[in-house]
Structure 1
Amino acid sequence: MLQTGKTDSQRVEFGKRIRKLRRDKGWTLAQVAQLSGLAVSTISKAERGIIALTYDRLAQLANGLGADMAAFFDARGTRFEDGAFAVARKAEFSRQETNNHVYEMLFPELRQKAMIPVMGTLKAHDILDFEEFVRHPGQEFLVVLEGAVTVHLEGRDPVVLQQGDSIYFDSSRGHLYASSGETDARILVVCAGQR
């Protein structure tokens, strides 16, 4: 787990990238709020590094800004071209930490990927620690690398996944992941159908 000071500085740098993308377009916070569906206060707090956005809110913000989500994780970037390939070595990722998750965005330097691969840690929490279901366009794949995970899908009974188990679902359905035990769980998630 990261020390708080390092997490805070990463969140501030993340916020600076969001602010730069907005200012490069010449847009106000209110304009981005209207385009993304997020509250002005949410965007402002994210830009100042006060809060970290969850994946669904990052997707909303990227859509509103007309930006590739990877640009939030890495200011540099090149388009992924046909016939290209990329290798990510262990610990080569950009990190974003929320109260419930640690996101490790793989290949943040590549723009316009057909899939968004994210490694992560689900902090050991009770489902009550989550405010609401997450939903975003596309499809989602999750595999449990370590520990056990309970996947809550809106309108369905929870599904418990053990190490090596996986699930594939329509991510526009409300969903939550939570560590099933008293320890953190490691996962790999791949989202497709949005950039």
Structure 2
Amino acid sequence: MEHDPSEPNPRVDFGRRLRQLRADRGWTLAEVADRSGLAISTISKAERGVISLTYDRLAQLAKGLEVDLAAFFNAEGQCFEPGSFAVARKGEFKRQETQNYVYEMLFPDMWNKAMTPMMGSLKAREFVDFEDFVRHPGQEFLVVLEGAVTVFAEGRVPVRLTAGDSIYFDSAIGHLYASDGDRDARILVVCAPAPGAPAGPGVEGP
């Protein structure tokens, strides 16, 4: 899926926001790399809009920068409070596109959520399209909305899901999703921290 040059480039916007968050803290690329566990080159490429980051790397970067993951997509937002009630209409999301996935980050202006809900499309057709498994602390839920998806989990037999099927698992297990058909698959994914773990660093609104 090619980016329309007439539209804002989400990768460039993300990189600009990432660079600003780092500058606000007065940290070098090396310091952020040390805090997040990501390579300096990875962070530098993300800042320059050369690459997009998968969810596990976004989570690492958010932890290293001590920000809520949603802060990468919105400079302003409100923290989730008891009694909060928010509605996302169709098309209201922040886009994050990688080689194999198109993430649609829902409620990007609501920070400190206990869950990270994402709609998305799977572009990959073969397992070999991926360099490595994705893994991150917590729990994960996926439901297939359209098409078919194969879930690869480290040390387990691949599972094929079709529209209406779902899966729930420990996301610390290495895992990958791939479209299993002749068209892109549509999915809804919800990630949450492990029980008893904080949802993420608190971020105050401006």
Structure 2: state its 5+ residue gaps: 194-198, 201-206
Residue 67 of structure 2 is matched in structure 1 by: 67
SS at match of 1:17: helix
- Give the Å deviation of 1:7: 7.5
The separation in 2 between residues aligned to 1:87 and 1:152, in whole angstroms, is 32
The separation in 1 between residues aligned to 2:119 and 2:2, in whole angstroms, is 16
Report the number of matched residues.
195
The separation in 2 between residues aligned to 1:8 and 1:50, in whole angstroms, is 15
- Give the Å deviation of 1:73: 1.4
How is 1:8-47 mapped onto 2 (pairs within 5 angstroms)?
9-47=9-47
Residues 90/42 of structure 1: CA separation in 2 closer, same or farther (3 Å cut): same
Residue 147 of structure 2 is matched in structure 1 by: 147
SS at match of 1:136: coil
Residues 47/138 of structure 1: CA separation in 2 closer, same or farther (3 Å cut): same
The structure that is helix-richer by fraction is: 1
Residue type of the partner of 1:175? H
Residue type of the partner of 2:180? S
Residue 183 of structure 1 is matched in structure 2 by: 183
The separation in 1 between residues aligned to 2:70 and 2:58, in whole angstroms, is 10
SS at match of 2:9: helix
8 A contact 1:11–1:52 mirrored in 2? yes
- Give the Å deviation of 1:3: 2.9
SS at match of 1:5: coil
The separation in 1 between residues aligned to 2:42 and 2:124, in whole angstroms, is 25
The separation in 1 between residues aligned to 2:97 and 2:124, in whole angstroms, is 14
- Give the Å deviation of 1:75: 1.4
Residue 162 of structure 1 is matched in structure 2 by: 162
Q: CA RMSD in A?
A: 1.3
The separation in 2 between residues aligned to 1:39 and 1:8, in whole angstroms, is 27
Residue 122 of structure 1 is matched in structure 2 by: 122
SS at match of 2:5: helix
8 A contact 1:124–1:181 mirrored in 2? no
8 A contact 2:3–2:9 mirrored in 1? no
Residue 103 of structure 2 is matched in structure 1 by: 103
8 A contact 1:32–1:65 mirrored in 2? yes
- Give the Å deviation of 1:6: 5.8
Structure 1: state its 5+ residue gaps: none
8 A contact 1:124–1:182 mirrored in 2? no
SS at match of 2:188: strand
8 A contact 2:38–2:57 mirrored in 1? yes
- Give runs of ≥4 in structure 1 deviating > 4 Å: none
